[in-house]
A and B are shown apart, each in its own frame.
Chain A
């Protein structure tokens, strides 16, 4: 017997839970270095009163991993205690704690803090599994509206998020006059216009 793709109707066969009261809503705020202030400000302004706000930080595992790999590549050094990988993991945990504390202070509302470590984009999606809203900040050039607004991790999260997503500017958005003018028509369009 071959596996057949599950029809979409089956997926929604499970009973749909009644819309939770506003007090039970969960809003996840993805706290990332450099851009988190915009997300926290959006949560403060837009999250319903009484919503459970979760401040989420994910430390990329490949950063201590790269340092560990570089040390492991130095053949013959022995001395595992000199491996910078675990040291970087410690520093990352400390810096994540400080970042979340600063975010909680800026939020000024009751919230919970969640620290994860792993592949950033997958951890964010996993953390948002039960959420009602995920707030994240766009990437890219801050001086103008326009591409590329999503880096690799943001792109993955927006593509795979299991809940509504609110994409905010890290700080004040530039004006619409920063959008470049449309490109000129290609030359081969001219004959049609005559």
Chain B
């Protein structure tokens, strides 16, 4: 059934497959309606949070935030591809952390491509940096990745504490990528970037930046007074939406579409299906593999297990399966799962072997892109990144306390 959820026949939204699967597991009694309802109640705030962040990112794009990032990167790095790569690292890490990995993959990557083409630089290192950082730089905040939001709900950590514990692992994962990528793509970066950037107005979208900063402050403030930080995300999205609607630069329908309702429904259905799979024996089978405790060895093993599962199926089902098993060992173990499931997908093109194989079989005929280079880069960054990030997490747990 997990494989079923991974397939996307004929380009239909995944929810089309996942909702009947969820209905089926409830109908066959694999999950009781009561348990399914409890799961839905548990997931609802997470899904609301996710929707608010998706809308916020889309509105930031509408307001020109990503175009402004492109102009900024072009101006600061003219003629120097290595400098451009550093700017891409800074931008992609910040965008991923604050507006989630979806924003980096969907909205930032095309801007980075255009910027690099405009400077006459070879685009490959910069595009690969975006796709890698969308995963490995998604450790910092609960909003950076849907896996984080799910773990955040399960860990019981407050928003600022989550960020404080994950700050060092986030930096460690980015540093690992930054050590590897410039060397891996040395020939492309040495080719230079001889073209002058086009003169563009340099205006920064101040309103958007202030709103996003206020939203971040809102996350911390909401946690301090015991309110779900999702409300801060909703407020930030509402401010940008109201302004864009008042200035007639977007429509309510476009905003509704950016909330990706079918995706939200899919996550809900996936939660129910995974519950059935875990109850149906996978939980018992995996339980002995999940180490108890938060010693360095246990954290490393937990992260490795997360990375393996993320590469076999996908990190979303992987985190749903592992969270209930890791949560009893405390927040440290939950965060170690995140290190594994967030960095791990860089190892396989399309995030999992299952997705890759099914897409190959069902959709794409002919030769796909060469996987050799992608996989070699993944082998250089993923195991090292996970080890370094877990070390950083272990240190953070000792300094700050789990």
> Which A residues have a C-beta under 8 Å from some C-beta of B?
32-35, 37, 60-67, 69-80, 82, 84, 87-88, 91-92, 95, 99, 119, 139-142, 148, 150-154, 170
Contact = CB atoms under 8 A, between A and B. Distances in A.
A151 B190 CA distance: 10
Given A33-B191, A119-B370, A170-B191, A73 B106 contact: no
B190 A76 contact: no
Contacts of A139: 187, 190-191
B122 A88 contact: no
Contact of B11 (A60, A70, A80, A142): A80
24 contacts: A34-B193, A61-B370, A63-B113, A63-B123, A64-B369, A65-B369, A65-B374, A66-B131, A67-B109, A67-B130, A69-B131, A69-B351, A70-B134, A72-B351, A73-B345, A73-B350, A73-B352, A74-B101, A74-B102, A75-B351, A78-B266, A82-B106, A92-B113, A140-B190
B337 interface: no
Interface of B: 5-6, 8, 11-15, 18, 81, 101-102, 105-106, 109-110, 113-114, 117, 120-124, 127-128, 130-131, 134-135, 186-188, 190-194, 260, 262-263, 266-267, 270, 314-317, 345, 349-352, 355, 359, 368-370, 373-374
A148 B128 CA distance: 22
A10 to B, nearest CB: 31
A139 B188 CA distance: 8
* Residue of B188, B314, B315 with most chain A CB atoms under a 10 A cut-off: B188
A32 B122 contact: yes
Given A71-B106, A88-B109, A77 B192 contact: no
Given A63-B123, A76-B316, A78-B15, A69 B266 contact: no
Closest 10 CB pairs of A and B: A73-B351, A151-B187, A65-B369, A34-B191, A78-B13, A95-B117, A76-B266, A70-B131, A139-B187, A72-B350
A66 B350 contact: no
A139 B192 CA distance: 10
A191 to B, nearest CB: 39
B117 A91 contact: yes
A139 B128 CA distance: 20
Contacts of B315: 75
Nearest to A118: B367
Nearest to B261: A78
A95 B115 CA distance: 11
B368 A65 contact: yes
B243 to A, nearest CB: 23
B369 A87 contact: no
Contacts of A82: 106
Contacts of A70: 105, 109, 130-131, 134-135, 351
Nearest to B127: A63
Contact of A34 (B5, B110, B120, B345): B120
A69 to B, nearest CB: 4
A91 B113 contact: yes
Contact of B192 (A65, A71, A92, A142): A142
B117 A67 contact: no
B75 to A, nearest CB: 19
Q: In the complex, which of the residues A64, A73, A80 has the most CB atoms of chain B within 10 Å of its own CB atom?
A: A73
Residue of B109, B121, B263, B368 most packed against chain A (CB within 10 A): B109
Nearest to A71: B105
A94 to B, nearest CB: 8
A150 B12 CA distance: 45
B191 A32 contact: yes
